[in-house]
Amino acid sequence: MAKVAALVLAAGRGTRFGAEVPKQYRTLAGRPVLRHSLERFCSHPAISQVCVAYHPDDEARYQAAVAGLELTPPVVGGSTRQDSAHRGLEQLAEAAPDYVLIHDAARPYLRAADIDNLIEALQGNEAALLALPLADTLKREEAGRVADTVPRAGLWRAMTPQAFHFDAIRRIHQDHAGQEHTDDASLAEAAGLSVALVEGSAKTMKITREEDLEMMEALLSQAPRRIRVGSGYDVHRFSEGDSVRLCGVDIAHNATLAGHSDADVGLHALTDALLGAFARGDIGQHFPPSDPQWRAADSAIFLQEAARLLRAEGGQIDNVDVTLICERPKISPHREAMRARIAELLALDIDDVSVKATTTEGLGFTGRQEGIAAQATATVSLPPRSQQSQAPGAEG
Ligand code: CTP
Ligand code: MG
């Protein structure tokens, strides 16, 4: 399978937008504009690496916008879009991809199918770009009046991503350095490449002015986010020891919990609840007990990784609820510390975190104090299906 890289250009200053925060870092549907297309690329199975060209003044904004995403280290962009693309391509050269998709960070709306179609177009073409046939009649202006009507037949609006064979577009950028083309396809055309048109969606519009951001916000908020609930359950047996760890809090006890990791039954149930909410398998699949690196591991790692995976797909945790089932130790004195610890690990408000406990009236294995059980639920919301890259399913 061809190795496909994505290069996202985000080094512009957004002078036409004219806000203090550059447009690619403005908030759209709860996340920075830049993050929207990065999530699409990162979760697309055909894309092997994603790199951003950014402006050094945006260092802190960049780090906040990409938290949890797996990206190639970013490259500092140049003073023109073309220069930023050139630098990005040089950065990607080491990994030697076969193809590259170059994309404007200012186009947050991107469909998985568009990525597929562009990659497919490269099988038989030297280059391809996402574009849209013009619908409006075009007028040429002179001194505030119509000079003439331009026939729109055969005219398309160029958008991004634009797709290329990596070595070819890298060489073209090297040969044309310092010129100022407003997209990479026009550079390729100038170099004599034949460029295919792939019809995209009008929603892949570029955010240029404040009004564009408002339009995009309205567009995205029409498609409801998908509310999902996951549940988890876990049990660990008691063994000889003097403390147990429950929901991230160490509690003195006349026994400990046995397990490969720290045996934090509460966090294990909660991790499974999170993974279940977006159908990403279970804790054993992500952190096999047979793997020595998880021996005595702090279960906070498992919980945080599940949250990272969820957020990398644009998911959001709405609330979590854990029930610990045991006769002893008594949970209520530690309940607030447990809620605080979970809220900290998941970066949630403490009001969105519940910890409860119950005994089983002396019945069953928990009643006989042979071990502790825990169950948990998590409510999450995922981006609208139309923007998703792939149907969610258990990881293989
Ligand atoms: N871009 C870039 N490096 C530059 C200029 C632009 O990486 N030196 C990126 C922008 O961040 C944007 C894309 O190229 O994602 C398209 O450019 P444009 O829409 O023109 O963005 P800006 O240059 O930021 O806006 P303006 O032209 O209004 O200043
Ligand atoms: Mg510009």
Do 210 and 243 lie in one domain? The reply is no
pLDDT at 393 over 70: no
The domain that contains 369 carries what CATH number? Answer: 3.30.1330.50
Please state, for a pLDDT cut of 70, what percent of the chain lies above it: 97
In a domain, 27, yes or no: yes
If you average pLDDT over residues 62-70, what whole number do you get?
Answer: 95
- Among 202, 222, 242, the domain boundary falls at 222
Three-state SS sequence of the chain: CCCEEEEEEECCCCCCCCCCCCHHHCEECCEEHHHHHHHHHHCCCCEEEEEEEECHHHHHHHHHHHCCCCCCCCEECCCCHHHHHHHHHHHHHCCCCCEEEEEECCCCCCCHHHHHHHHHHHHHCCEEEEEEECCCCEEEEECCEEEEEECCCCCEEEEEEEEEEHHHHHHHHHHCCCCCCCCHHHHHHHCCCCEEEEECCHHHCCCCCHHHHHHHHHHHHHCCCEEEEEEEEEEEEEECCCEEEECCEEEECCCEECCCCCCCHHHHHHHHHHHHHCCCCCHHHHCCCCCHHHCCCCCHHHHHHHHHHHHHCCCEEEEEEEEEECCCCCCHHHHHHHHHHHHHHHCCCHHHEEEEEECCCCCHHHHCCCEEEEEEEEEEEECCHHHCCCCCCCCC
Domain count, the chain: 2
Please state, for a pLDDT cut of 90, what percent of the chain lies above it: 89
Question: Is residue 11 lining ligand 1, measured as CB closer than 6 Å?
Answer: yes
pLDDT in tens, 182-196: 999 999 999 999 999
- Among 200, 222, 244, the domain boundary falls at 222
pLDDT in tens, 14-44: 999 988 999 999 999 889 999 999 999 999 9
In a domain, 102, yes or no: yes
Do 343 and 283 lie in one domain? The reply is yes
Do 358 and 310 lie in one domain? The reply is yes
Mutate which of 28, 33, 104, 204 for ligand 1? The one with the most ligand atoms within 8 Å of its CB, which is: 104
Do 203 and 309 lie in one domain? The reply is no
Mean pLDDT for the chain overall: 94
Do 137 and 34 lie in one domain? The reply is yes
Kindly give the number of the ligand 1 atom that is closest to the alpha carbon of 13: 24
- Give the global pTM: 0.80
The domain that contains 110 carries what CATH number? Answer: 3.90.550.10
Do 137 and 269 lie in one domain? The reply is no
State the pLDDT at residue 385.
Answer: 73
- Among 187, 222, 257, the domain boundary falls at 222
Among the residue ranges 87-91, 133-137, 368-372, the one predicted with the least confidence is 133-137
Domain span at 312: 226-386
pLDDT in tens, 192-219: 999 999 999 999 999 999 999 999 999 8
Q: How far is the CA of 203 from the centre of ligand 2 (A)?
A: 19
273 falls in which pLDDT band (50, 70, 90)? Answer: very high
Kindly give the number of the ligand 1 atom that is closest to the alpha carbon of 207: 19
Nearest CA to ligand 1 atom 13: 104
pLDDT in tens, 112-147: 999 999 999 999 999 999 999 999 999 999 999 999
